[in-house]
Amino acid sequence: MSLNVTVVGVGAMGEAIVRGLLASGWETDGVDALVRSPDQAARLAESLGIRADVEPGVVIPGSAVVVIAVKPKNVPDVLHGIAAHLDRDSVVVSVAAGVTLDSIESILVDQAVVRSMPNTPAIVGEGVAGAAVGHHTTDAQLEQAISVLEAVGAVEVLDESVLDAVTAVSGTGPAYVFLLAEALIEAAIREGMSRRVAETFVHQTIRGAGHLLTETGVGAPRLRSQVTSPGGTTAAAVHVLEERGFRALVEDAVRAAAKRARELGAGE
């Protein structure tokens, strides 16, 4: 892949994208990073073999796609810092929760912009990202942005109004699954499994259930009913979850995350 990508901010999400790109076969000399500290730049160069620098003038020019992966509150400063170094036809892909296309385009006037919301399974090429297209973005620039996001998972172009929901569902979603895994492992240990055995069974159960969801085309309700015989063990467990308000809890959690995404985008 000859497209040059610069990732600005290599924390949890930025690193997931860099690692995902490299794992998908992107050449190391096609991936650069703009970071804040010379120490981190040196570490990235050593551990991942990519060019990393603290100066926008070194890594931004010549980048076809510039991914902004800093915290929402840092986005305006970062955009002001890179603006003068962007090529006219580069596309800027922001992954910052809540930060709107309008706010990005008010700083990067006339620049191609895509607002996206990926998630950390990008590290293993299993991410999913929603992407909303800016006002000055051509189809070719959108394709370039998508090619970067697709290197690390599935991508769907969506109306921007849905992106806070995407943030709350799939951007945040891995944490819901990991919390479930933690709780299930602790419960398994209390039921007599060793931690090693509990982890093996919980991890593989989540992986297997995920594969069933994505590969059979059978929806969650039917897959669940296949595990649930009347009067059986699953029915007993699901009864407790339903009675204690599991669905309402999930709905409240997703609503809280979407609200927080909107607040972050507003600079709160």
Ligand X SMILES: NC(=O)c1ccc[n+]([C@@H]2O[C@H](COP(=O)([O-])OP(=O)(O)OC[C@H]3O[C@@H](n4cnc5c(N)ncnc54)[C@H](OP(=O)(O)O)[C@@H]3O)[C@@H](O)[C@H]2O)c1
Contact set with ligand X (CB under 6 A): 8-14, 34-37, 69-72, 74, 77-78, 95-97, 117-120, 171
CB of 109 to ligand X, least distance (A): 20
Q: Which is nearer to ligand X, 73 or 255 (CB)?
A: 73
| Residue with Cβ nearer ligand X (141 or 167) | 167
Task: Identify which of residues 40 and 228 has a Cβ nearer to ligand X in the complex.
Answer: 40
CB-wise, 30 or 127, nearer to ligand X? 127
Identify which of 18, 46, 19, 43 has the alpha carbon closest to the alpha carbon of residue 32: 18
Q: How far is the CB of 68 from ligand X (least distance, A)?
A: 8
Q: Which residues contact 24 (CB under 8 A, 6 or more apart)?
A: 125, 151, 152
Q: Which residue is nearest to ligand X (CB)?
A: 11
Minimum gap (Å) between residue 71 Cβ and ligand X:
5
Q: What is the DSSP string of 91-122?
A: EEEE--TT--HHHHHHHSTT-EEEEEE--GGG
Query: Which residues are paired to 157 by β-bridges?
Result: 131
Query: Minimal distance in Å, beta carbon 214 to ligand X?
Result: 20
Closer to ligand X at the Cβ: 122 or 202?
122
Q: How far is the CB of 198 from ligand X (least distance, A)?
A: 25
